[in-house]
Amino acid sequence: MRDAVVLLSGGLDSYTAAAIAKTEGFALNALTIFYGQRHAREVEAARAVAKALGVARHQELTVDLRGIGGSALTSDIAVPKTGVVAADIPVTYVPARNTIFLSLALGWAEVLGAFDIFIGVNALDYSGYPDCRPEFIHAFESLANLATRAGVEGARFRVHTPLISMSKADIVKAGVELDLDYGLTHSCYDPPTDGRPCGRCDSCVLRARGFAQAGVADPLLR
Amino acid sequence: MRDAVVLLSGGLDSYTAAAIAKTEGFALNALTIFYGQRHAREVEAARAVAKALGVARHQELTVDLRGIGGSALTSDIAVPKTGVVAADIPVTYVPARNTIFLSLALGWAEVLGAFDIFIGVNALDYSGYPDCRPEFIHAFESLANLATRAGVEGARFRVHTPLISMSKADIVKAGVELDLDYGLTHSCYDPPTDGRPCGRCDSCVLRARGFAQAGVADPLLR
């Protein structure tokens, strides 16, 4: 089995992307990056999802982006809870987040001798983040081949984005078909103290819309 | 004054690159990234250098790459102390290090509204690291413009590499002309417990060669 590094946040998208990697025959090396968000619930979700996937390795890394700030997810800016998703890039955008995540995944891939990286980005229901677009992913692949010892020696890295053209409803349907337990996941940007989803942040709204359009009940809301 | 983010390790190269940024009229926002190396001496050097440069801001970030390993600088692999620099990529190569560093610099630049990043990479006396080459730097600039909100809105990021074509001797000469105090810096990959340079790792050998060829005494060795 070939090794792949899969970025695993404990959310619905990365769980589904990792499960697809598994069906494609990859041994999963799950990388969870904690970047200073309110995170006890996310640690728990990432570990539960990694266990459910039967990963070969699970590596947790902490990169405290609170020093950099600039996002509702890494600073004191409030997470908007309007119940609708705005058209422009929202304050939950974390500057250069996927570039940072893919760089760390690339470093680990090179150590493992792996050339395949999976990331659950989505260019449709994606909250308007620039680093979820196909042109960004292609630019990162080019960079990876120049950045690494393996690339210099002729290896070709591939960044797999199995969800990139899927709607949230398609993702939910794919996960249900793969028998994934979405009750293990965590999506809310800013859960109340009881740990339940807030239901009104972008991430909750996109998730709810996906389950509704797929005609599936969200097990987190049972 | 325009803001620039400068990657500042506390070594000779990044100190010189930051000083050049200052002569070009940039306000310096120094970013020091600790990545799990034996680091008390490096923290001290980075802070001393930042102070000497009169930076506008100094941000320290910790990214513990020991979980990823794969390098003599982040794992239990011994640092070679042969007293000569090998022709191939050495075990001190940290997988994807400059990609990770530039990604973090990009994130902070975007928060600051800065579009200029300085990094002290060097393609001549560079220990054979793939992520010190001009083609890598250009690929990162392309990526930065696709990865960010500012890039989407038309900004163009520039990664400045003022040392890229300089020999270590040229760098030392430039620094002496700028009146830099290289006694504040730290280069050794694996200093003995007394904190003095080992004199035989790649970094010490390249530094000694640079000072010798520049005809300057290294203040660290006085």
Quote ipTM for the complex. Answer: 0.89
Q: Is A34 on the interface with B (CB under 8 A)?
A: no
| SS3 track for B78-103 | CCCCCCCCCCCCCCCCCCCHHHHHHH
- Residue B212, pLDDT > 80, answer yes
pLDDT truncated to tens, each residue of chain A (222 aa)? Answer: 899 999 999 999 999 999 999 999 999 999 999 887 656 678 889 999 999 999 999 999 988 888 877 777 777 777 777 776 666 666 777 788 899 999 999 999 999 999 999 999 987 755 567 888 899 999 999 999 999 888 888 889 999 999 999 999 999 999 999 999 999 999 888 887 777 888 888 889 989 999 999 999 999 988
Res A56: pLDDT = 97
- Residue B80, pLDDT > 80, answer no
| SS3 track for B194-210 | CCCCCCCCHHHHHHHHH
Res B95: pLDDT = 82
User: Rounded to whole angstroms, how far apart are CA atoms B138 and B140?
Assistant: 5
Res B62: pLDDT = 85
- Residue B39, pLDDT > 80, answer no
Closest to A37 (Cα-Cα) out of A10, A66, A59: A66
Whose tokens are 């980075």? That residue is: B46
Residue-range definition of the domain harbouring residue A87: 3-221
How many structural domains is chain A composed of?
1
- With contacts defined as CB-CB under 8 Å, which chain B residues touch A133? 146
Tokens encoding B220? 């660290």
User: Rounded to whole angstroms, how far apart are CA atoms B184 and B181?
Assistant: 6
Q: CATH number for the domain including B119?
A: 3.40.50.620
Interface touch A146/B135, C-beta < 8 Å: yes
* Residue of A130, A147, A149 with shortest CB distance to B149: A130
Res A69: pLDDT = 75
Q: Note the pTM of the prediction, 2 decimals.
A: 0.91
- Residue B79, pLDDT > 90, answer no
Interface touch B149/A59, C-beta < 8 Å: no
Interface touch A107/B148, C-beta < 8 Å: no
Cα separation values, B60 from A66, B65, B108, Å? 11, 15, 11
CB-based contacts of B170, cutoff 8 Å, min separation 6: B214
Spatial contact of B190 and B147, defined as CB atoms under 8 Å apart: no
Point out the least confidently predicted range of A137-151, B35-49, B177-191.
B35-49
Residues facing B59 on adjacent strands: B31
Res A201: pLDDT = 86
* Residue of B63, B68, B148 with shortest CB distance to A108: B68
